């Protein structure tokens, strides 16, 4: 078998993670009831989603106990995604005249 054992989460812990994710889902809906002004409602929604995604990646996908290399792959993919968004927006946000039929 293995030289070192794989991490096994307790059932209690997994349920705790699941319940935390449910609570964060309720929270992300609840913050839309109080009307947060324009740019900040998006920031709050994305921030909660990032927290949820981090919880899933760390404790359901076991990155917390895993080889750090796998975490690096996930972070790199997120960085390249932001690069894609950033460079695209540098073009589309500053066009004097957006492509007419778009």
Tokens in use for 12?
Answer: 């209690």
Residue 27 in the binding site for other proteins (CB under 8 A): no
63 C-beta neighbours (distance < 10 Å), count: 19
CB of 40 to other proteins, least distance (A): 13
Report how far residue 41's alpha carbon sits from residue 39's, in angstroms, rounded to the nearest whole number: 6
Residue 36 in the binding site for other proteins (CB under 8 A): no
Report how far residue 51's alpha carbon sits from residue 8's, in angstroms, rounded to the nearest whole number: 23
Tokens in use for 14?
Answer: 């997994």
Residue 15 in the binding site for other proteins (CB under 8 A): yes
C-beta separation of 60 from 9 below 8 A: no
Of all helices (H) and strands (E), which one includes residue 12? helix 11-30
Residue 29 in the binding site for other proteins (CB under 8 A): yes
CB of 88 to other proteins, least distance (A): 5
Tracing tokens 């059932």 back to the chain, one arrives at 11
Residue 34 in the binding site for other proteins (CB under 8 A): no
Residue 96 in the binding site for other proteins (CB under 8 A): no
Residues that bind other proteins (CB under 8 A): 1-4, 6, 8-9, 11, 14-15, 17-18, 21-22, 25, 28-29, 32, 41, 45-46, 48-49, 52-53, 56-57, 60-61, 66-67, 69-70, 73-74, 76-78, 80-81, 84-85, 88-89, 92-93, 98, 102
């Amino acid at each position: 078998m293995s030289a070192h054992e794989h991490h096994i989460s307790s059932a209690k812990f997994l349920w705790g993670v699941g319940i935390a994710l449910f609570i964060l889902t309720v929270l992300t809906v609840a913050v839309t009831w109080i009307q947060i002004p324009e740019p900040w409602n998006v920031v709050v929604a994305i921030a909660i989603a990032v927290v949820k995604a981090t919880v899933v990646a760390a404790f359901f996908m076991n990155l917390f106990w895993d080889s750090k290399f796998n975490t690096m792959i996930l972070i790199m993919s997120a960085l390249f995604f932001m690069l894609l968004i950033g460079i695209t927006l540098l073009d589309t946000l500053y066009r004097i005249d957006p492509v007419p039929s778009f």
